[in-house]
Amino acid sequence: MTAQALLRTLPPIMMQSVRRTYSLDVAAPLLRTQGYINGRWTSAASLFPVLDPATGQEIAQVSDCGPGEAKRAVDAAYEAFQSWKQFTAKERSVLLRKWYELMTQHKEDLAKLITFESGKPLAEALGEIGYSASFLEWFSEEARRVYGDVVPSPFKDRKMLLLKQPVGVAAVITPWNFPSAMITRKVAAALAAGCTVVIKPAEDTPLSALALAELAEQAGIPAGVVNVVPCSRENTPAVGQVLCTDPLVGKISFTGSTATGKVLLKMAADTVKKASMELGGHAPFIVFDSADLDLAVKGAMASKFRNSGQTCVCSNRFLVQSGVHDQFLQKVGEAMDRELRIGHGIEPTTTQGPLINPRAAEKVAHQISDAVSLGAKVLRGGSRLDGSYVEPTLLADVNTSMLCTREETFGPVMPVIRFDTEAEAVAIANASNVGLAGYFFSQDVSQIWRVAEALEVGMVGVNEGLLSCPEGAFGGYKQSGLGREGSKYGIEEYLEVKYMCFGGLVP
Ligand code: NAP
């Protein structure tokens, strides 16, 4: 299609985006493009481009770190661990708090980086910076509450203690959909516990990670405690190999797809590393006849269309009971018309940015055409647009033979399945080998308890479409992962328990 023909087919807001050019104007110290190893900004032998997914334009060239840089970063982190673990909890807490304050101070520029490298609308990017910084704040507080135990001894001449100690160097591998928050959710907990880190951000979004390192340095976090090795997709397997196999790394903490998580777990097995895995989801969103429908529509809009459907806790399968099915479809369709605007994320009116790259848009378009070929009805949207854009799409008459109900979509598609009984809904919801988040809307108290307990997921939204905050325990059942992030449990992932038996005492 020619550019002119394309422009004629686009909604007005998007035509505006396609015609304009956008440039990233972020203050120099925050726009870092080299790796950060042992407190030094470090160039690599080659560079890789970072693209604005809204336009395909290059916004930066970043050092393409390889296994050599990864090894140097691990060595630096191991060296720094020897002194970082000796800092008092209060000293670590003060530094994390300072880092939090700097993030808050620079939130506008940090948000712009997210918008330009991931496509996320600016208001959402600002929300992510608040969320990301909140982990530094939370774990600056949790750092001071790592208690051990004094255990009643069965022997008169011995005392028993359980001490908590940091695991060591943590390798942190993160995805592009929350380029800032997925880093702090791990790194804040790790540093609070006394660990040091080597971060490998996603190829698509290294700039947010490097800006975080700049602010860590400004906060006074010592050299080697935080290291960042950005790399291209070509170098990723070799860098991953170092991070998952080097004996100096004590822990691997990963957020990303279930497929990649399995690869990393297998690599980490040889040196028996501790592992935290935040993997893919396939969240059910159930609306029962007793639901407050307006609340359910609000929850559906928030949990489906945030970040254009690219969050691991996004609702993927909408199950709506027969008594409210038609009304729900009508109301949610009207809300989509009213609230969703496609465009470049930097435009204040935009609520729906592009997907991360054309490959992602192609996958979503394939799920839509598969559903349509098997009998789904398109009530809104349905088309892939230029570049990485996909129209927000509402599908009715969906059944469980369709791809969109069997695999994670990671795009703005709302497939609606009609059901009759609670048991049927719970069975469909649980028919998945992953179980990260699940949502349901009901005003029946007994049903709320039954369904909340029956869903095989790590997080349940009851009459609520947004769950994430540092106080909550984030993590999944089944193949959605291992361990929890945030909450009082997040720091435990970076701690060992040492049993100390104090003998020879004279009673
Ligand atoms: P991905 O393809 O698994 O990539 C995630 C990270 O792993 C990227 O940094 C990627 O690097 C890296 N990676 C890939 N292969 C590797 C290897 N062999 N060694 C070392 N690193 C490797 O996932 P994604 O597409 O970026 O993210 C989307 C997925 O993340 C979805 O499934 C989503 O549900 C999940 N997610 C889960 C959570 C959660 O908390 N549970 C949160 C957010 C996202 P490259 O960029 O260079 O490929």
Whether 357 is in the pocket of ligand 1, judged by its Cβ within 6 Å, is: no
**Residue 360 CA: which ligand 1 atom is closest?**
25
**For position 28, what pLDDT does the model report?**
84
Do 458 and 313 reside in the same domain of the chain? yes
Q: Any idea what the CATH number is for the domain that residue 215 is in?
A: 3.40.605.10
Under a CB-based contact definition with an 8 Å cutoff, are residues 162 and 498 in contact?
A: yes
Contact between 213 and 184 (Cβ < 8 Å): no
**C-alpha of residue 31 to centroid of ligand 1, in Å:** 23
Q: Does some domain include residue 13?
A: no
Residue that the structure tokens 């496609």 belong to: 342
Q: Which positions ≥6 away from 388 have C-beta within 8 Å?
A: 53, 54, 56, 119, 354, 355, 356, 357, 358, 360, 361
How far from the centroid of its chain's Cα atoms is residue 163's Cα? 31
Q: Is the CB of 35 under 6 A from ligand 1?
A: no
Measure the CA–CA gap between 404 and 315, rounded to whole angstroms. Answer: 11
Instruction: Using the Cα atoms of residue 499, residue 500, residue 503 and residue 505 in order, give the sign of their dihedral.
Output: negative
Spatial separation of the C-alpha atoms in residues 238 and 236, rounded to whole Å: 6
Domain with 367 in it? 283-470
Alpha helices in 106-149 (DSSP H): 107-118, 122-142
- Of 378, 418, 374, 419, the residue nearest 395 (C-alpha): 378
- Domain assignment present for residue 171? The answer is yes
Q: Is residue 463 part of a domain?
A: yes
Rounded Cα distance between 299 and 312, Å, is 16
pTM of the model: 0.95
Residues recognised as catalytic: 278, 312
Same domain, 346 and 313: yes
Indicate if ligand 1 lies below 6 Å from the C-beta of 62: no
Same domain, 235 and 346: no
1 part of a folded domain:
no
Q: Which residue has the tokens 């969703």?
A: 340
Contact 103, 138 (CB under 8 A): no
Q: How many CB atoms lie within 10 A of CB 87?
A: 17
Same domain, 48 and 121: yes
Distance CA 374, CA 16 (A): 35
Task: Note whether 255 and 297 are same-domain residues.
Answer: no
3-class DSSP state of 404: helix
Strand 413-419, strand 315-321: pairing: parallel
Which of 173, 204, 310, 468 should be mutated for ligand 1, with most atoms under 8 A from CB? 173
The reply to whether 379 and 394 lie within a common domain is: yes
> Is 505 inside any structural domain?
no
Same domain? For 223 and 293 the reply is no
Helical ranges in 270-343 per DSSP H: 293-305, 322-339
Render each residue's pLDDT in the chain as its tens digit; 507 residues.
444 444 445 554 454 455 578 999 998 899 999 999 999 999 999 999 999 999 999 999 999 999 999 999 999 999 999 999 999 999 999 999 999 999 999 999 999 999 999 999 999 999 999 999 999 999 999 999 999 999 999 999 999 999 999 999 999 999 999 999 999 999 999 999 999 999 999 999 999 999 999 999 999 999 999 999 999 999 999 999 999 999 999 999 999 999 999 999 999 999 999 999 999 999 999 999 999 999 999 999 999 999 999 999 999 999 999 999 999 999 999 999 999 999 999 999 999 999 999 999 999 999 999 999 999 999 999 999 999 999 999 999 999 999 999 999 999 999 999 999 999 999 999 999 999 999 999 999 999 999 999 999 999 999 999 999 999 999 999 999 999 999 999 999 999 999 999 999 999
Please tell me whether residues 266 and 408 are part of one structural domain. Answer: no
Ligand 1 within 6 A of CB of 233: yes
Together in a domain, 249 and 354: no
**Tokens 């670590």 found at:** 92
The tally of domains found in the chain comes to 2
DSSP state of 344: -
CATH of the domain at 304: 3.40.309.10
Cβ atoms within 10 Å of 228's Cβ, excluding its own:
31
Residue tagged 């004279």 (tokens) = 506
Q: Are 301 and 319 in a shared domain?
A: yes
Residue 148 counted as domain residue: yes
Is residue 229 in some structural domain? Answer: yes
Q: Does 297 lie in the same domain as 249?
A: no
In a domain, 353, yes or no: yes
Distance 445 CA to ligand 1 centre (A): 38
The secondary structure of 182-211 as a DSSP string is HHHHHHHHHHHHT-EEEEE--TT-HHHHHH
Question: Ligand 1: does its nearest atom lie under 6 Å from the Cβ of 408?
Answer: yes
Half-sphere exposure of 240 (CA within 13 A, CB side): 22
Residue 13 confidence (pLDDT)? 43
Residues contacting 499, CB < 8 A, separation 6+: 160, 161, 162
Both 296 and 217 in a single domain?
no
Write the CB contacts of 29 (distance below 8 Å, at least 6 apart in sequence): 214, 218
pLDDT at residue 11, rounded to an integer: 53
Single-letter amino acid code for the residue at 448: I
